[in-house]
Amino acid sequence: MIVYKGINFDWENLNIHNVENDTVGFQFGKNSDHWELIWITPLPDFFWNQYQLPLSECPSSTNINMFSITSLIPTIQSTAEDPHITKSFEIDGKITFISNRDGNFEIYVVDDDGSNLKRLTYTGDIDEYSPRWSPDGEKIVYQASRDGYSDIYVMNPNGSNQTRLTFSGSSRDPAWSPDGKKIVYIDSWNIKIMDQLGSSQIFLTDTETNKYFPEWMPEENKIFYISVQDGWGLYTMNVDGSNNTYLIDFQWSKLSWSAITKLFTYSLSNEGNSDIYVMNSDGSNQTRLTETICFEGNPVWSPDGKKIAFDSDRSGNFDVFIMDSDGSNIITLAFSPAVDGAPDWKP
């Protein structure tokens, strides 16, 4: 099925459902005081209808099921040749993410046009989190957890050669060095570094305050991270652990740096919801990209700096979405009724 979308509206979401073995697309857009809904049929003679829903809460599969299509109020009808309709964008690349669609949380990979979905891990009672591509795209580092204990593993892009790197039971949030020779991660609430094979494990910090999401920025050869040392804040330090510096007040959020845009992308809570932002490396020029009453988190840049992948519950459960770097043109990457999240883009 070819999915089309209206470019004359501010589209917020794309959902795919199976209805009596036929694929039907639901796409939402926020337009002043109501949600607008396109119902897409897979028929060869393709038509689409636009409907209105009250702008009272995030659209969800539950809300959709409360309505029959015939009970909604159509506002526009057209054909595929309508000048206001275009195909969804197509870009080249692969994205890893986690999902519990098959039971526990496993790692999956999908082309960034939503095709060729493949499961990479099959670990039964172990949950996998935080997959991160190596800079050369030849390895994936990730966190595996069982019974509250977690350690860092690495594997090939096809899921083979899964190798355990840490054995502390408290290791998480791995990230690669720019040259792919080192991995920085959190162990027992402190920042630690090791080589790509798991040897030479060295603590860079030694405090009793929680730390999260270390990110290695190539240009300044520094490690950025989140901590509650003096209240929630964004900190930076040299790769040897020296010159530990507080930058700005900051919340619990994964960071993603783009060498192309020279910007971090991150999420920020606002009155119970969470939205996606970008900012300079010194914390200045914070710019909001999404504005919903839903949760948006775990943003990551595409290699060319033109797109951002993130997870959100705007579809009623957590799914992975892709948008342009200015926050426009949001589409669903791989919809499922399960929880999908923590995307990472192959370099």
Q: Are residues 102 and 216 in the same domain?
A: yes
CATH of the domain at 156: 2.120.10.30
Tell me if residue 60 falls in helix, strand or coil.
coil
Q: Answer yes or no: are the C-beta atoms of 109 and 98 closer than 8 Å.
A: no
pTM of the model: 0.74
Residue 263 makes CB contacts below 8 A (sequence gap 6+) with 257, 278, 279, 280, 281
Q: Are residues 224 and 80 in the same domain?
A: no
Q: Are residues 13 and 150 in the same domain?
A: no
> Could you give the CA distance from residue 134 to residue 122 in angstroms, rounded to a whole number?
21
The whole-number pLDDT of residue 63 equals: 37
DSSP 78-109: EETT-TTEEEPP----EEEEEE-TTSS-EEEE
Q: Are residues 197 and 256 in the same domain?
A: yes
| H or E segment and range at residue 33 | none
Q: Are residues 327 and 180 in the same domain?
A: yes
The whole-number pLDDT of residue 108 equals: 95
| H or E segment and range at residue 237 | strand 233-238
Angle ∠(139,323,311) on CA atoms, nearest 5? 60
Q: Are residues 52 and 137 in the same domain?
A: no
Q: Are residues 127 and 60 in the same domain?
A: no
The whole-number pLDDT of residue 232 equals: 85
Residue range of the domain that includes 34: 4-87
Q: Answer yes or no: are the C-beta atoms of 110 and 309 closer than 8 Å.
A: no
Amino acid in position 123: T
The whole-number pLDDT of residue 102 equals: 87
Q: Is 205 left (phi over 0), alpha (psi -120 to 50) or beta?
A: beta
Q: Answer yes or no: are the C-beta atoms of 71 and 85 closer than 8 Å.
A: no
The tokens describing 186, both together, are 């959190």
Q: Which of 24, 58, 87 is the last residue of a domain?
A: 87
Count of domains in the chain? 2
Q: Are residues 82 and 103 in the same domain?
A: no
The whole-number pLDDT of residue 225 equals: 94
The whole-number pLDDT of residue 90 equals: 38
The whole-number pLDDT of residue 109 equals: 94
Q: Are residues 146 and 50 in the same domain?
A: no
Written as tens digits, the pLDDT of the chain (347 aa) is: 223 333 233 333 333 333 333 334 444 444 444 444 443 333 333 333 333 333 344 544 333 332 323 333 333 232 233 222 222 333 346 999 999 998 899 999 999 888 899 999 998 889 999 999 999 999 999 999 987 899 999 999 999 999 999 999 999 999 999 999 999 999 999 999 999 999 999 999 998 888 999 999 888 789 999 998 777 899 999 999 999 999 988 877 889 999 999 999 999 887 778 899 999 999 999 999 998 888 999 999 999 999 999 999 887 889 999 999 999 999 988 778 899 999 999 99
Q: Which of 87, 103, 127 is the last residue of a domain?
A: 87
> Could you give the CA distance from residue 174 to residue 130 in angstroms, rounded to a whole number?
7
> Could you give the CA distance from residue 265 to residue 92 in angstroms, rounded to a whole number?
21
Q: Are residues 248 and 153 in the same domain?
A: yes
Q: Are residues 165 and 301 in the same domain?
A: yes
> Could you give the CA distance from residue 129 to residue 189 in angstroms, rounded to a whole number?
17
> Could you give the CA distance from residue 333 to residue 340 in angstroms, rounded to a whole number?
10
CB count within 10 Å of CB 100 equals 15
Nearest one of 302, 303, 273 to 288, comparing CA atoms: 273
Number of residues that this document lists for the chain: 347
The whole-number pLDDT of residue 220 equals: 79
The whole-number pLDDT of residue 240 equals: 94
Q: Are residues 60 and 185 in the same domain?
A: no
Q: Which of 41, 63, 87 is the last residue of a domain?
A: 87
| H or E segment and range at residue 62 | helix 61-65
**Beta strand pairing status for 202-203 and 190-195?**
antiparallel
Say what the alpha-carbon torsion angle 20, 36, 278, 129 is, to the nearest 10 degrees.
Answer: -20
> Could you give the CA distance from residue 196 to residue 19 in angstroms, rounded to a whole number?
47
Residue 78 makes CB contacts below 8 A (sequence gap 6+) with 47, 48, 84, 85
